[in-house]
Structures are given as C-alpha cells and as structure tokens.
Structure 1
Amino acid sequence: MNMNWTQISPTRWERPLSGMEEYFVFIGNITAALYDGRQQYTVLSKVKVTLNIPDVESALRHAWKQVRYEEPDIATTVEPGKKIFEVLDDTSIEKWVDETFIIDTQRDAEELYRIGRTMKPATLYYLPKSSELVIHGHHAVFDGIGMIMFWDRFFRAVTSPNYDINFGGEHVRLAPALNELVGLKGPATQEQSDKGLAVLMEYITKLPAIGFPSKVGKVPAGQCQAMEYVFDEESTSAIIKACKARGVTVTSAVHAAYITVLSKYADPDSNTTRYASPNEFNLRGRLEEPYNKVAAANYYLPLPFSVDLPATFDELSTALNKYYRGYLNQHPEVLDVQASFTQALQQVVKTPEYQSAPIPTDALVSSLGVVENHLQHSYGGRDAVVVVEDWKLACDNVLGMTGFHFYTFRGKLRFVYQFNEAYQEAKDIRLYMEEMERVLRGELVGK
C-alpha cells in the first residue's frame, strides 16, 4: 500500500484528503467551533460481547495495539486538506494505547454516545458494566462498512494475538486515497471536472426538498440520540422473502418505506413535491485486494437521487432498485469523476450561500446490508472465546442533518435513527420507524 503518502519527517507521513474525507473534516471543524468541540458525523460503533478470556483488559489492550500495527490507518489524524500518521517506536506505542484505550466502569454505550465528545484520534472503550466495546472515530477515517470490518479484525487479534511486533515500519501498510485506487493519478481534466460538477448539481438544484418538522436553526443543539428499532426474525424473513419475490432489494424497499413515511409526516413548509437525497454506494467491492479489506478507510461514494412526489411505494421501490442496482454499472465513468464531484461538493459547502441555506431535515439514508458479510457471530473456534451478541452504528448529530442506518444482524432487520433531541422529539422518531414497519408489512407481506 502506501501510495500517495509522503514522508514529511523521520516519524511523520501525510497524504492529501480524498473522496468524502475533506467534506467530513470541513463540516466537523465548523460544528466543533459552534458546538463546544462536538463534531457532526463522528462515528461510533458498539458491540455487545461475551468474552471468555482470563485477563480481559490485557487481551483487549494488546489486540488494540496489534490492530494498529496491522492496519495503521486507525491511528491517523486529520487536518484541513490532509491526513497524518505518526510512526511510533515500541516505547511511545504504550503511551498511545494509554491515551486511546479507555476502560469506563460507570457508563454503557448509549450513555457514552449521548454525552458526546470532542474529536481526538480513534478511541476504543471497554465498558465492563454492560459487557460492551465501543470504537469512536472521525468519519474521514472510518465509514460504516469499515466499522463492521474493524471488529472482525479486532476480534481476530483478540483470539490470535501476535506478540512478535516491532513498531516503526508499519507506515508501509497505510491505505491509499480513494482517488488512487480508482486510477486518478493526477489532477482532474477539465472534462472530468465538468462532469463531477454536473453530478453534484443534479442534487443541489433539487434542493430544498421534502423534510420532517425540525427545530434546527431555532434552538441550540442538545444531546445526540441513536434510536434503535429491531424487527423479529419472523418479520425479517417475511420481508426478505417478499422483496426477492418482487425482484427488489431490501435496501430499496426500506428506503421506499422511509420516503412514504416522510411524505406522510412532512413539514408542510418544506417542498413536499420532491424527494432529493445522496444515495450511498460502498465501493470496496470494486477495489482489488488488499484494499477491499481495509477497515479504516472512507471508500464509499454518495450519488444524487431524486423523485417527484407523491409516488406509490411500488413506484418508489422500483425506481430505487433500478438506481441502487444499476447506476454504477450504467455509469462507470462516475468513478473517474468522483474526485471532481467531491471537490465540487467541498467548494459548494464552503460558500456563504450554502451555509446560509436551510439545513435539510430529512435523513441521510444508509444501508449497511448484512452485517455477517463482514463480522462473525463468534471467534476462537469451538471454544468461542468471543461471542458477538449485538452490533450497532451511530453518527453524532449536532448540526441537524439526521441519519437513518439499517442492516440485518442475527436474522433481524434493524433500524437506527440518529437525531438531536433539541431539534426533534423521541416520540416522533419512534412513530416514524413504527410507520415504516407498517408500510413494509402492508406493501410486502400483506399484514
């Protein structure tokens, strides 16, 4: 690996930000200045685990250190325009572990998430009270799929510890920027820049669009909440079976149910005749090994989707299915212009016009698919040294742009809606998710 990383000093390596990284750094810095250091989009993932380990704290501490050795990007930090990695020796690595591996005997993961925190390097928390582990990091370092993959790498380190580690040369394993991996070796051509801007304008020109009622911009930010809604196995199985029979993905069906509910409960002052959103595409499946296996990376691309409203569930799910399944195959040139697209996005969000415009109050919708594609139920063979009982992902929400993640794990479809308690009420968010289940049942299962 190590493409486009440059050695700045004997211990410091840097590379330019790429893809969505610069957007997340810019938005994070703006919100940190406004909200006591808290940043929009910092990412938190928790696992509830059973650990059959004699010395749990020692094993977890070593695994955290081992993962840094194997995948050094977890220790990168970000500044405007660049990502930074500091090479540590065997002495200074212990100081890094002391600072980034935290044992919290007082809180559980939900409490940890809601109190928020200022940004610092990726940090691992062990919460013995609730038997949970939490990883918290900058979105420029981790994306959603990467957060799942991190736990797989971590638990493999727990169950197969490597004590023959010598720090100092792991910079050779730093992951390349997305631009490099899709073949962009130099500055974008004018044609690529024009196409990238055109893709962005497909979204920008559709705004403002439909949104939920929200007090964003009218009251100070409050605590973050990531409300979870879990289907039972029977309902999940029936929904998946019905989606297959219809020839649509579960992602398309859930997204269609979300738009249906958004239309029903929309703020009447929003533009209720159009839905516009950046749909998210995981690019790891399009990357060669070993890059498709990197956890600490931002290897996804948001692309604009819009539809006129009102629309039926069938119309929405069909349009979304066509978009999710076919867009990248029908428009492979998008990968060539993704750098120009994200650069155009960064330029637009820095303009006074964009920053003074109303904040979208619909959710950024993100499907993480089947968690088991990247994370096992247990590690350590027949002895099951580690059993993963539950997994959850959430992003900090201080700016008002909410998040809606969904995925299946252990046979259950799970919704996670992230919002700020000052802007929206928990009872309303719960209602939206209940309504989404009713839509899915009524449209797909018939009950």
Structure 2
Amino acid sequence: MANSVNKFWEETSPGKYERNVDELEQLYTTLAKMHEGTGHTFFAITACVTLTVPTTIGESLSYLEAQIEKALRHSWKQMRYDHPTLAAPVVYDPDTESCKKVYQTPQNASQVNDWLEETFKVIDKAQTGQEFANSDPPIGRFATLYLVTPPHDSHQSVMTKELVFHSPHDLIDGVGTLMLLDNLILVASEAFSSLSSQSEVVFGDESKNLSPHLRVAGNIPPTRDAAQEKKLQEIQSANTDARKDTEILTLPFNSVPEIAGNSTRIAINLSPTDTQAVLARCKALGVTPTHAFHAGIALALRDLQEKGQEERQARYIGYSLNNLRQSCEEPYNSPQHAAAVYHSASAHSLVIDVVIPAVGQSKIATKSLKEFELALNQVRDFYQSWKPDADFLSMVPFIATGKLPPYSPETGPVPPPDHSPSVSLSSMGVLDQIIKPQRGVFKVENPWVIGAEYRTGLGLFLSTWEGVLCLGAGYNDAYHSEDEVLRFLESVKNIVLAGLAV
C-alpha cells in the first residue's frame, strides 16, 4: 500500500520527478498487473469524440486534413505540458518494494518527438472511432491519442475526424478524461486558427502542473478517527448482512472461455422526446435519471433469472461510482487537474429487493408499475443516504484497497472469471456541461467514455448529450454477444419508460 506521508512530487534527479501512489492508483495498478496475462490492461480508460469541420467547394481536402492533424498534434503536446501526469506511469521500485509514479521532463526536441510518435497515432483505415476502440488496441506506458478517419461521403459538406483516447486507469478517470478532451479540443481550435504563427510548446517547467493523488487533493488524513472507523465497521457489517440468506441476482454469461477477449462498447440513445419526458417525470417524482435507470437495471437483471414453480424473493446488490472532484481543494477540483484519479465507489452497497415471478406468471401492468416504484424508492433512498463528506473521504482508501491482495511485480496466473457477475452503472451526467459542443471551427459530437471490461459482468454508462440520454455498455466479447447486450440495454430502457409512464 502507498505511503501516504510522502504527498508531494520530488525531483530525484535533474528533470525526474517521483511520488508515491495512493490507494486508488494502487488499486488500478494492482488489478492491471493481476490480469497482465490476458494481454489486456484491466479497467483501462477508453473515450471517443467526433469532430466535424465545414468544407467549401474547391477546397483541398487533403490540405484541410493536414491542418486538422497539425492542430491536434500541437494540442496533444500542449496537453503534455498542461497535464504532465499523462506521461507519469506507475512503476515498481524494487528497492522500496512499492509502486510510485515517475515523470521525466523531455530534455530536447528529439525526446518530445519520440513521445509524440509513441502516443499520437493516425489510423488510416476507414472506420469509426467506436469500431477502432472495439478492436481493443494495446495500452502503452502513457496515455495515447488516436486520430481516426471514419468512412467519408464525398457529398458531405463537412470533414469528420474521431479522437479515441486510451490510457491506463492509474493515470486518469472517466470524468477527468472528458475534461481533458475539452481542454484538448479548445487548444486545437485555437491552434487551427493560427497555425502560421503557432509557437512551439516549450518543456522544462511543466512539473509545476503535476497532479497529486486524492489523499492530497481531498485533504484525506493518514488515519480515520474513532468515530469514522466505527462508521466504516458498521457499513461493512451491513454490506455483509445484505448478502446473507438471500438469492443474489447474477448475469448469465458464456462460461466456456477462461481468458477474456476484447473489451467492447455498444450504446443506445433515447429519442429527444423520450429524454425530455424522462427528465420531466423524474423531476416530478423527486428522483434523477440515474435513480430511474439503476432501478431499471435491477429489474432487467431480475428478468434474466431462471423461473421456478413459485415466485421468490431475490436481491440486486450494486454500488455507485462517484466523481470526487467537487470534494477536492482548489485547484484540484477543476479541469486544470483532469489527469488524475479523483473518484471512488460507494462505501454502502446498493440493495434492491425484487420478486422473481413463477413460470407462466403473466405480467400485469399495475404490478410492473408497483415493482418499478418500489425499486426506484430503494435506489433514491440509497443515493440520498450519504454524501461525499470528510467521513466518506476517510473511507476511500479502504474502499480501494481494503480487500486487495498485495502487489506482486511478477506476472502470475490470471484470476478465474467471476461466476456470479452483476451489472454496474456509472452516471457521467450532462456531458455538454463538461465538453463544449462547439470549439472554434470544431463541432463536437457524440462523446463517450468507458472503463475497459474484462470481467464477466456489464459496466453501464448513462449520460446526456445535447438533450439526448445515452445508455452505453462496456462488455467483454468472450462472455457476451452484441445482440445479448443490446437486448439488455433495450430492456432497461423499456422498463424505465414504462415505470415512469412515459
């Protein structure tokens, strides 16, 4: 576990900066090492955004394409300066037998170009960003940006490019990635409008921008006080009791493969009309879309369980994933420190009690509405029962690594697949409040982010972009098919629409 006393970056040799990792960073580093034998990076962050630029009759498309690439290359270098933690991988130190982050300032233009060659890649094959992301390219040492060109229609009046961002999770989290993409597009738009007079990014003092870990950013004390420790023990006991003497809902999956395949993303959008109706009904009921869709997930998962001769009680157990930037001190609560891991799962388990109907038991509309109402109330009560205050922040280190095995620098056997998987939900919020839809010449469309899924479960992501709710899923193609996951997403959507009487 990280030594939380050493909170600051230290220059250990000219231009080389190091710091210990905290528990959240250690979590993702350890999980990645444990699953290294799969050839994939566990929980890696993948994000995508579409950029369009207007074209004019007679304009050289190849010249425009070159200008876009040049602007993005410049912006990516600026991101290295503004957010140097993107190039600060976690390494194992055999002398201290612990993990640490290491950042090396480029000493010359050649080193900058070497880094750029490694981390800025142009994909010439005509495919969408999601298609490329679903090919699950390997994760490098540093965060990597891919410039992807989707199939082009010669009659279109715009040029379309897609950016795919790929990074180890111990460098950045989902909300931080969205913030970073907005910063990137802003700088690229400014560079595009002034390429002829664009000055070069100069490295040397960017270490001032290195981000601390959450213990520093959130001012988390080294230890919990007696009251906080008692509260944590009570929460742990409640979480344990929630699993006793009851059937826990699990997600069916293909149990033949022993090794995970590619992490894959698929999504559905609600119509603008349905989105507005959902938002209005949620507001009237005093709940959020997150509450409604988490309730829908529990009931959709319930519908996948094998039915018996009699109806029976069962339980969905999940958690919430929480962006903690609003709990961090300035300036760590801002996009200035996008390249950081400032989030956590909840301490309490989300518990939703449901009834699995008997074989042949028909659905009754009024009963379905009542079931949704009961599930929705349980979700609402869970989300409103706690807040990211000092007590919660004190528990984050335990939530991250309390049950994690010690880090081993050796590549060991891959842990077996989880045979009782579930479905999680990450609520990303209103994305156009994080990424502006227009930055200079660049129109931004369809941003999304997921954590790579190499488990047997599903990771769902809920977001809104320009008035449209999107429900996406990360899944592993060794354990689930695209059709199966799409059916599940549609089931969740239909349950929510019916339950809210939309």
Q: Tell whether the 8 Å contact from 1:209 to 1:272 is kept in structure 2 after alignment.
A: no
In 2 relative to 1, CA 164–218 (structure 1 residues): closer, same or farther, beyond 3 Å?
Answer: closer
Contact 1:23/1:345, CA 8 A, preserved across alignment: no
Q: What letter matches 2:284 in structure 1?
A: A
Stretch of structure 1 that moved more, 18-27 or 308-317: 308-317
- Worse overlay, 137-146 or 97-106: 137-146
Residue 297 of structure 1 aligns to a residue whose secondary structure is coil
- Cα deviation digits, residues 275-301 of structure 1 (max 9, x gap): 222211111122233211221111111
Shift, 1:159, TM fit: 2.0
SS in 2 for 1:176: coil
Aligned to 1:183: 219
Greater Cα radius of gyration, structure 1 or 2 = 2
Deviates more, 1:433-442 or 1:320-329: 320-329
C-alpha separation in 1, matches of 2:70 and 2:455: 38
Instruction: Decide which of 369, 373, 376 is 1:314's aligned counterpart.
Output: 373
Whole-angstrom CA distance in 2 between matches of 1:197 and 1:179: 21
Q: Which has the higher helix share?
A: 1
Distance 1:42 1:103 in 2: 20
> What is the alpha-carbon distance in structure 2 between the residues aligned to residue 416 and residue 127 of structure 1?
21
Q: Separation in 1 of the partners of 2:383 and 2:287?
A: 10
**Residue 364 (structure 1) shift:** 2.2
User: Unmatched 5+ residue regions in structure 2?
Assistant: 1-5, 55-63, 93-98, 152-160, 192-197, 356-370
Task: Within 5 Å, give how 1:308-387 maps onto structure 2.
Answer: 308-310=352-354, 312-328=371-387, 332-347=390-405, 358-380=418-440, 385-387=441-443
Aligned equivalent of 2:116: 97
Tell me whether 1:241 sits opposite 2:280 in the alignment.
yes
Q: What are the within-5 Å matches in structure 2 for residues 180-219 of structure 1? A: 180-186=216-222, 196=232, 199=235, 202-203=238-239, 206=242, 209-216=248-255, 218-219=257-258
Counterpart position of 1:258: 297
Residues 341, 422 of structure 1: CA spacing in aligned structure 2 closer, same or farther, 3 A cutoff? Answer: closer
Q: Distance in 2 between matches of 1:360 and 1:179?
A: 33
Q: How many residues align?
A: 435
Tell me, yes or no, if structure 1 residue 86 matches structure 2 residue 104: yes
1:117 matched to which residue of 2?
A: 137
Aligned equivalents of 1:9, 1:359: Cα separation in 2: 48
Secondary structure at the counterpart of residue 8 of structure 1: strand
Counterpart contact for 2:264–2:475, Cα < 8 Å: yes
Q: Match of 1:123, as an amino acid?
A: T
TM-score by length of 2: 0.79
Runs of at least 5 residues in structure 1 that lack an aligned partner in the other structure: none
1:205-256 deviation digits (Å, cap 9, x = unpaired): 6558321101247543223321111111011011001100101011101111
Which amino acid in structure 1 is aligned with residue 122 of structure 2? I
1-structure distance, mates of 2:342, 2:394: 14
- Distance in 2 of aligned mates of 1:143 and 1:100: 18
**Greater CA deviation, 317-326 or 123-132?**
317-326
Alignment of 1:283-322 (within 5 A): 283-293=324-334, 294-303=337-346, 304-310=348-354, 312-322=371-381
Residue 128 of structure 1: aligned partner: 149
Work out whether residues 254 and 440 of structure 1, in 8 Å CA contact, stay in contact via their aligned partners in 2. Answer: yes
Report how far residue 188 of structure 1 moved.
5.4
Among residues 464, 469, 484, which one is paired with 1:408 in the alignment?
464
Q: Is the 8 A contact 1:211 1:267 kept in 2?
A: no
Tell me how far apart the structure 2 counterparts of residues 357 and 232 of structure 1 sit (CA, whole Å): 36
Aligned counterpart for 1:432 among listed residues 488, 491, 500: 488
Pair 1:392–1:147, CA change in 2 (3 A): same
Q: Distance in 1 between matches of 2:489 and 2:431?
A: 20
| Contact preservation (8 Å) 1:43, 1:394 | yes
SS in 2 for 1:226: strand
- Matching residue of 2:59: none
Among candidates 277, 282, 288, match of residue 323 of structure 2: 282
| Structure 2 residue identity aligned to 1:307 | V
- Kept in 2, the 8 Å contact 1:193–1:340? The answer is no
> Of the candidates 77, 85, 89, which is equivalent to residue 77 of structure 1?
89
Alignment partner of 2:319: what SS? strand
The 1-side partners of 2:406 and 2:304 are apart by 30
- SS of residue paired to 1:146: helix
Q: Tell me by how many angstroms 1:375 deviates.
A: 0.6
Tell me, yes or no, if the aligned pair for 1:76 and 1:141 is still in contact at 8 Å.
yes
Whether contact under 8 Å (1:12, 1:85) holds in the other structure is: yes
Following TM superposition, by how much is the alpha carbon of 1:308 offset from its aligned partner in structure 2, in angstroms? 4.7
CA root-mean-square deviation: 2.9
Contact 1:197 1:344 in 2 (8 A): no
User: Judging changes above 3 Å, is the alpha-carbon distance between structure 1 residues 359 and 295 closer, same or farther for their aligned structure 2 residues?
Assistant: farther
Deviates more, 1:8-17 or 1:115-124: 8-17
Shift of 1:163: 2.4
